[in-house]
A and B are shown apart, each in its own frame.
Chain A
Amino acid sequence: MEASRGQIWFDALRSGKGSASGYEGPIRSADAPLGDTIARFITVVPDPHNRFPRATDNVVGLEQGWLLARAVRNAIDADRETSVKRPIVAIVDVKSQAYGRREELLGVHLACAAAVDAYASARLAGHPVIALIVGPAMSGAFLAHGYQANRIIALDADGISVHAMGKEAAARVTRRSVEGLDELGDRVLPMSYKMSAYAKLGLLHELIAGIDADAPGQEDIGRVRASLIAAIDDARQGPRDLSSRLKSVDAKRIRAASIEVRKRMAEQWDAS
């Protein structure tokens, strides 16, 4: 089987160290040098032998959610007594949450929430959490793996997209053609499937163009590393909440309503 984007970048950022042999399940997690520090890299990979048949692809299902939580919490525990917390890099390549009857019955929402909690808790504890988007970052799967990061970085390459719903499903639900959906995305920015449009929402720290996402060379890897290091430094100097997402020039323009709501809520919070 061809390596997934998540696996490719997990290996690349660990300086080409191959994975251990044997069955490893759907989550890859390892510590490796990054700049002058050691970072934890975590990704979700396809798991053809997963015992839940609807969760064999690179999706976030029951086991994926809880195992992500474990990989993140393991780093929090390891650094509990240290003042400088290790960075955590979530390499994002997730097609969706797992859609299935068993998943709902057994609480896939809770498994995904456990991953959300772990990443958010790591951020609140002072770990710089960086999401590196190298493939699809879809809906609930992205909420579970990446969207709690202090900083989000994305490659601008084919196959990379952030969205609340897969394109075909969105076309069905909105009764549009896939082309009609593209046209809508050009007019209504948050509806777009293009990374260039997503970048304008002010949520991204950096969009890196010109990288070979499927077969990164040394120069590509070097550029991504440099961006990760810069994002980590930036995160260490900023607050531990997500307020940086409302600070950029793009956010002030496109997410003006989000900012206005917060301003007025603060004004009205205490009775006059």
Chain B
Amino acid sequence: MSAHDTFIAQHSFIELTARERARALLDAGTFRELIGPFDRLESPWLAMQNVVCQADDGVVIARGKFGGEAAVIAAIEPAFQGGSIGEVSGAKIAAALELAVREFEAGRKIRPVILFETGGVRLQEANLGLAVIAEIQAAIVALRRYVPVVGVIGGMVGCFGGMSLAAALCSRLVMTRQARLGMNGPEVIEQEAGVEELDSRDRRLIWSMIGGEQRTAVGLADTLVEDDTNQVRDAVLSAFERGVPASHRTEQVDAQLERLARVDPSAIDPAVLRTLWQGDV
């Protein structure tokens, strides 16, 4: 195929809504949403602050089959409040993962997938957003003893704040080139540390530091895919087929401290890091 034909044959993952993303990944005809918009479980806190609610609070939980096996997908909607995690949207993700743990405790299997697209805690729900992110993290650690927990960062919001820790806890992480993964958003760093620390408008620099291509090159994510739904699905499927890793990235304390020790903080940039960390872990 020519470059043009390849492009036309692709189906953008990024352009899909959370609901469409979950449906597109699950085996055809198996999508079933839990606590959908008609349940009307909305944020109790946004209305108190004159912010318009959304009937699904920005998270879609779907059960179905994935690669012929039982699966549950938690998909965050980037278009509602920047994918931010409030009490209800966060509890939906935590509850789905907690119930997945129970499947294994009962001797059944299920494949869990999280589609990250979030700036982190929803500021209007501050402490309850932070608390539920701790619960999501707890559930990921409990669940990945049984099955790989697979995370996808599609873009364009990316994955930031406390949810970047949740992504790092996943057994395997799939990213597009457009996706970013970092703890503190560029604007936050510029505000806290000054423009000389980081110019948040320098998009090329930002993507070269925390974009999907760099993250996979230095071992902070596992698979780089094009913005194509089939490629995302194949990458997630292959992540499950490889099984639970012998050790998760967050467990490799000595190896990661050794990696860090090799870095000279006064002379580090994305290119230097690629040579320093390539092929590790």
A139 touches B250 (CB 8 A): no
Instruction: Decide yes or no whether A10 CB sits under 8 A from chain B.
Output: no
In the bound complex, what is the Cα–Cα distance between A242 and B90 (angstroms)? Answer: 14
Task: Output the nearest chain A residue to B72 by Cβ-Cβ distance.
Answer: A269
Q: A51-B265, A99-B192, A103-B183 are in contact. Are A163 and B45 (CB under 8 A)?
A: no
Q: A70-B257, A265-B96 are in contact. Are A258 and B273 (CB under 8 A)?
A: no
| A-B pairs with lowest CB-CB distance, top 3 | A113-B168, A109-B164, A147-B134
A198 touches B127 (CB 8 A): yes
A265 touches B99 (CB 8 A): yes
> Which residues from chain A contact B260 at a C-beta distance below 8 Å?
62-63, 66, 106
0 or 1 for each of B69-102: is its CB under 8 Å from A? (1 = yes):
0000000000000000001100110111011000
Closest CB of chain A to B243's CB: distance in Å? 19
Closest CB of chain A to B134's CB: distance in Å? 4
Taking residues whose C-beta sits less than 8 angstroms from the other chain, chain B's interface range is 35 or more
Instruction: Decide yes or no whether B176 CB sits under 8 A from chain A.
Output: no
> Which residues from chain B contact A53 at a C-beta distance below 8 Å?
265
Instruction: Decide yes or no whether A261 CB sits under 8 A from chain B.
Output: yes
> Which residues from chain A contact B109 at a C-beta distance below 8 Å?
none
Task: Output the nearest chain B residue to A108 by Cβ-Cβ distance.
Answer: B183
A-B contact pairs, 9 of them (CB 8 A): A51-B265, A97-B184, A100-B189, A110-B168, A113-B250, A114-B256, A257-B44, A258-B87, A268-B34
Task: Output the nearest chain B residue to A146 by Cβ-Cβ distance.
Answer: B134
Taking residues whose C-beta sits less than 8 angstroms from the other chain, chain A's interface range is 35 or more
0 or 1 for each of B168-209: is its CB under 8 Å from A? (1 = yes):
110000000000011110001101110001100000000001
Task: Output the nearest chain A residue to B196 by Cβ-Cβ distance.
Answer: A101
Instruction: Decide yes or no whether B52 CB sits under 8 A from chain A.
Output: no
A105 touches B210 (CB 8 A): yes
B34 touches A265 (CB 8 A): yes
Task: Output the nearest chain A residue to B160 by Cβ-Cβ distance.
Answer: A109
Interface of chain A residues 157 through 195 with chain B (CB within 8 A): 162-165, 169-170, 172-174, 184, 187-192
Instruction: Decide yes or no whether A90 CB sits under 8 A from chain B.
Output: no
Interface of chain B residues 211 through 263 with chain A (CB within 8 A): 218, 220, 248-251, 253-254, 256-257, 260, 263
Instruction: Decide yes or no whether A17 CB sits under 8 A from chain B.
Output: no
A147 touches B130 (CB 8 A): yes
Interface of chain A residues 190 through 213 with chain B (CB within 8 A): 190-192, 198, 201, 203
Among A34-42, A78-86, A117-125, A225-233, the one that faces the other chain is A117-125
> Which residues from chain B contact A114 at a C-beta distance below 8 Å?
168, 250-251, 253, 256
B183 touches A265 (CB 8 A): no
In the bound complex, what is the Cα–Cα distance between A260 and B42 (angstroms)? Answer: 11
Instruction: Decide yes or no whether B129 CB sits under 8 A from chain A.
Output: yes
> Which residues from chain B contact A258 at a C-beta distance below 8 Å?
87-88, 91, 128, 132
Closest CB of chain B to A148's CB: distance in Å? 6
Instruction: Decide yes or no whether A245 CB sits under 8 A from chain B.
Output: yes
Tally of contacts, chain A with chain B, CB under 8 A? 237
> Which residues from chain B contact A112 at a C-beta distance below 8 Å?
165, 168, 183
Among B10-18, B20-28, B136-144, the one that faces the other chain is B136-144
B183 touches A203 (CB 8 A): no
Closest CB of chain B to A138's CB: distance in Å? 9
> Which residues from chain A contact B131 at a C-beta distance below 8 Å?
147, 201, 203, 245
B127 touches A162 (CB 8 A): yes
Instruction: Decide yes or no whether A241 CB sits under 8 A from chain B.
Output: yes
Closest CB of chain A to B85's CB: distance in Å? 10
In the bound complex, what is the Cα–Cα distance between A231 and B106 (angstroms)? Answer: 30
Q: A121-B141, A266-B99 are in contact. Are A164 and B127 (CB under 8 A)?
A: yes
Task: Output the nearest chain B residue to A96 by Cβ-Cβ distance.
Answer: B192
> Which residues from chain B contact A106 at a C-beta distance below 8 Å?
260, 263, 268, 273
B209 touches A104 (CB 8 A): yes
A257 touches B88 (CB 8 A): yes
Instruction: Decide yes or no whether A107 CB sits under 8 A from chain B.
Output: yes
Interface of chain B residues 116 through 156 with chain A (CB within 8 A): 121, 123-135, 137-138, 141-142, 145
A169 touches B48 (CB 8 A): no
Starting from the known contacts A106-B268, A188-B45, 9 additional A-B residue pairs (CB-CB under 8 Å) come to A100-B193, A103-B184, A106-B260, A114-B250, A120-B137, A120-B142, A188-B48, A201-B128, A241-B138
